[in-house]
Structures are given as C-alpha cells and as structure tokens.
A = this chain, B = another copy of it.
Amino acid sequence: MSSCDTCVVRNRAICAGLDNQEIAALNTMGRRRAVSAGEPLIWEDDDSLLVANVIEGVLKLTTSTEDGREQIVGVAYPSDFIGRPFGQTSKASVVALTDARVCVFARNDFDRFAREHPELEHKLLERTLAELDRTRSWMMLLGRKTAPEKIATFLLEMSERLNETGCAVKLGPARRFSLPFSRQQVADVLGLTIETVSRQFTKLKNDGVIELPSRREVEILDRPALVSLAG
C-alpha cells in the first residue's frame, strides 16, 4: 500500500463513481504531504504545476499586488481541490492557515488521468461550478457591502462552512466555532484593514450579538441580528 492510500479514498466527494481499480490508480500518482500552519504549499516546478486535494486543515489562496496589498481569493477546506488542471499557472499562491495534510499530484499525470476518467472530470466540474458561485457572491460582498455587513456575512459563512467540514455531522450552522483566520487574514478576505475588523468585532460584542471567548473563538449569541446586519 502506498503511503497515500487514504488521501483519495477518503475523499468521497471525488471518488464517488470511480471503481476501486481507478481509485488505486489515482493513489499511486498522489503523494501525501503535510503543511504546517503558515507554510506555503510551494509549486515546485513552474511548468509541471501541481494539483492537490485537501485531506485535513484549511488553506488560503491569495493574490497580491507588487506593493504588498493582499487579497484572499479563496479558502480550501478538506476535500476541496487546489490548483489548476488543464491550464497555465494561475497566479494565486497557497498558504496553510492551520496544520494541513494534502495529497499532491503532478499536473500532467493528473490531467491525463482525469481525461481518461469522465466521472472524475464530472465531479471536478461540479465542484468548480460551486466554487464559482461562491466566488461570485463574494464579489457582491467586496464591491457593494459596508464593513459591518462584510463582518456579519463573514461570521455567518464561517459558522456554516466550519460545520460542514467538521468531523462530527451536526445539523444546522455552528453556534460556536474557532476561526482559522487571524484578524489580518479576516481583513484580507473582506477587503478591509485589521483595525476596521477589530473595531467591528468589538462593536458586535458590545451589542451582545457575539461573544469572543478568546482571540480565535467566536460564539454567536444573536443569529437573527447577524442575518439582518449581513444585508
């Protein structure tokens, strides 16, 4: 058994529809890799870029301007795909927010395998379409929402996302959760500054909408208020 067995096998969302032989073939191509919090997932060779599948942890996809401004353009949770099959390099860089484990593939291998396995391509298409939808609704937030609305929307999304991807299957969104983001990273997601994020968090706490037990912990006290603030 290769050390990467569980990488793909675990990923039900991707493997549904593939038979065991196909899954085994995928596994032999993939290499498991651990990335600790704060570390970049380096694309070792510009030409044979990698594709990766998140097994555990949360990673950020960012783009930056030359003068150092940063925008987080995507967040990858377990079972999400990272990278850009069938294309030239996308300019986003990938950094782990928490300790993470991923399964990486050489792009060429992956591309060939995908083209030979329509079922896999179909899954990739569905996921990419879903990601595009999410990204588009985030454009609305970035372009048209105010700081308080951005923060409220962010907290609601977090409470849903972190629940979906959590180990325990719970119904409904989480009431209390641990943010995988620092204040600065929250600012980079929302197109704000760290000071504005901090002030808005404090205001929500003072208004009794949320509680902040520690720097990374959030507890939602008044979800309807948050929904109404989200605009």
Contact = CB atoms under 8 A, between A and B. Distances in A.
Contacts of A67: 231
A22 interface: no
Given A87-B129, A91-B137, A121-B121, 14 more contacts: A61-B136, A65-B144, A65-B145, A66-B231, A71-B140, A74-B136, A85-B125, A86-B129, A90-B133, A118-B121, A125-B125, A131-B132, A142-B142, A143-B190
Contacts of A63: 136-137, 139-140
Q: How many copies of this chain does the complex contain?
A: 2
Contacts of A71: 139-140, 143-144
Contacts of A139: 63, 71, 73, 135, 138-139, 142
Contacts of A191: 142-144
A159 to B, nearest CB: 20
Interface of A: 61, 63, 65-67, 69-71, 73-74, 84-87, 90-92, 115, 118, 121-122, 124-126, 128-133, 135-140, 142-145, 190-191, 231
A122 to B, nearest CB: 6
A84 to B, nearest CB: 6
Contacts of A125: 85-86, 121, 124-125, 128
Nearest to A115: B122
A51 to B, nearest CB: 11
A125 B117 CA distance: 13
Contact of A87 (B74, B85, B118, B130): B130
A86 B67 CA distance: 40
A211 B59 CA distance: 44
Contact of A118 (B118, B133, B231): B118
